[in-house]
Amino acid sequence: MLMYMIARTHDMAAITALTFVVVMISPLPPLSLATILLSLLANQLGAIAPDVDQPTAPFWRNVSFGRLFGPAATRLLGGHRFLTHSLVGVALAGWLFGLLLQFLQPIMPNVQVEYVWWAFMIGMISHLIMDSFTKEGVPWLLPLPIKFGFPPLRRLRVTTGKIVESFVIFPVLVILLILLCTMYYGDLVDLFHNKPIS
């Protein structure tokens, strides 16, 4: 039986979390359109990044070399729900993604990479939070071999793809996103109207 959230739930959780953070810290400094678009992409990459530790993850299914490298990545990262589902894994992924952004910065002069980095991190953290609601839990404090979940009683947690995830959690995330976009419409539109600082 699968014990991890399905990809669309992680995607929705990541964009909802990103929108929440943006409206809570508004007004943001002027952002370029390239920054906004890359931040949205990075957020969605962050949402699936922790699952690179399983060969059937969406990331490996959508790249041509996935069948070759997916199983190797699983072994290297210690299996599913291990390194990439911990605070150590989040810090490591954040460091690697930061290096990638620094490397790409010269060919992306109009991108404010610090916002792209934060969007990625919000996606990753939202993934771990959502997986904490599943029966298996998450080893937040690795190397401590304890998987934390909410609620503490395992039998009360979510089973992937079942009624609670499909008809409660996912719709609630959609409603939250719609409410945030409706209530803070002006702040979100301003992100596109402001001219970036040169």
Number of structural domains found in the chain = 1
Please indicate, yes or no, if residue 43 is contained in any of the structural domains: yes
Please indicate, yes or no, if residue 60 is contained in any of the structural domains: no
Domain of 36 in residue numbering reads as 7-51+80-193
Q: Which amino acid does the sequence have at 30?
A: P
Could you read off the pLDDT of 101-158 as tens digits, one per residue? 999 999 999 999 999 999 999 999 999 999 999 998 999 999 998 999 999 988 888 8
Q: Mean pLDDT: which of 15-24, 44-53, 155-164 is highest?
A: 15-24
Please indicate, yes or no, if residue 64 is contained in any of the structural domains: no
Please indicate, yes or no, if residue 170 is contained in any of the structural domains: yes
Could you read off the pLDDT of 26-45 as tens digits, one per residue? 888 889 999 999 999 999 99
Please indicate, yes or no, if residue 63 is contained in any of the structural domains: no
Please indicate, yes or no, if residue 72 is contained in any of the structural domains: no
Please indicate, yes or no, if residue 198 is contained in any of the structural domains: no
Query: Cα–chain-centroid distance for residue 44?
Result: 6
pTM for the complete prediction?
A: 0.89
In angstroms, the first-to-last Cα distance of the chain is: 52
Tokens 């605070």: give the residue.
87
